Structure 1
Amino acid sequence: MPRRKAGTLLPLEVRILEVAQKAQSDGTPVYGFALASALSEDGGKSLTAHGTLYKALGRLADAGLLKTEWEDPETAEAEGRPRRRLYRISSRGSAALTAAQTAPAERARPLPTLRQVQP
């Protein structure tokens, strides 16, 4: 399977960055389940499974496009649930999102015709 070009984002990654940027501008922390809910509200086409989401979050964090931190344990304990990993878009992530949103969509190239093989 061919690898994608360095610096290109998958559609799911673009949506994650968009949701993270909106949440940050709203002052709302974003965590995995909240992201999954937000992504499914837009038709759910960009999310196939939670495993897909968490792998994409890991890639974005490893690339420095998202910053992650664990929420305060007292908050989780007071609400009677496990701690959440919180995600924020980084300045690098904002730049990558802007670039992805302004880049022209790649056109599908037509398949070449195969030559007839002479026996």
Structure 2
Amino acid sequence: MTGPRMTPQTVAVLRVLLEDPTVPRYGLDIARQSGLKTGTLHPILNRLQQAGLIESFWEDAANHEDQGRPRRRYYRFTGHGAATAYQAVTRAETTTTGGHSALRPRPGH
């Protein structure tokens, strides 16, 4: 599988998702955590989804009706997505930091 280009913005998105790979995150949350604008974020999420690293789903309508906001679209890693993303981020960071990755594995992951 050919993955998406590892731009600094893509790495930032993957780092946010890798903070807790089992927890789905919604777009605005990812944007805030990564420091990216939604206009930059959503094309990256689309490319990650096309590459098979993440999948998306819409929040259940019943879960947000009383909150006065639109439904949220959530993103999470596919079965192999987190491991592939971790390797890709590590390679990208190793390339940009001269051989030392700043991304450390979390215990138990």
Scaled by the length of structure 1, the TM-score of the pair is 0.66
Alignment-derived partner of residue 57 in structure 1:
45
Higher Cα Rg: structure 1 or 2? Answer: 1
State whether residues 17 and 93 of structure 1, in contact with CA within 8 Å, keep that contact through their aligned partners in structure 2: no
**Structure 1 residue runs without a partner (length 5+):** 1-5, 41-46, 108-119
* RMSD across aligned positions (CA): 2.1
Measure, in 2, the Cα distance between the counterparts of 1:106 and 1:35: 23
The reply on whether 1:102 has 2:90 as its aligned counterpart is yes
Question: Of 5, 14, 24, which residue of structure 2 is paired with 1:17?
Answer: 14
State how many pairs are aligned. Answer: 93
Give the AA of the match of 1:21. L
Alignment of 1:5-84 (within 5 A): 6-7=2-3, 8-25=5-22, 27=23, 29-40=24-35, 47=36, 49-84=37-72
Scaled by the length of structure 2, the TM-score of the pair is 0.71
- Identity among equivalent positions (%) equals 38
Measure, in 2, the Cα distance between the counterparts of 1:11 and 1:96: 17
Runs of 4+ with >4 A deviation: none
Q: Deviations over 1:21-46 (max 9, x none)?
A: 22444x4x311110111012xxxxxx
**Structure 2 residue runs without a partner (length 5+):** 98-109
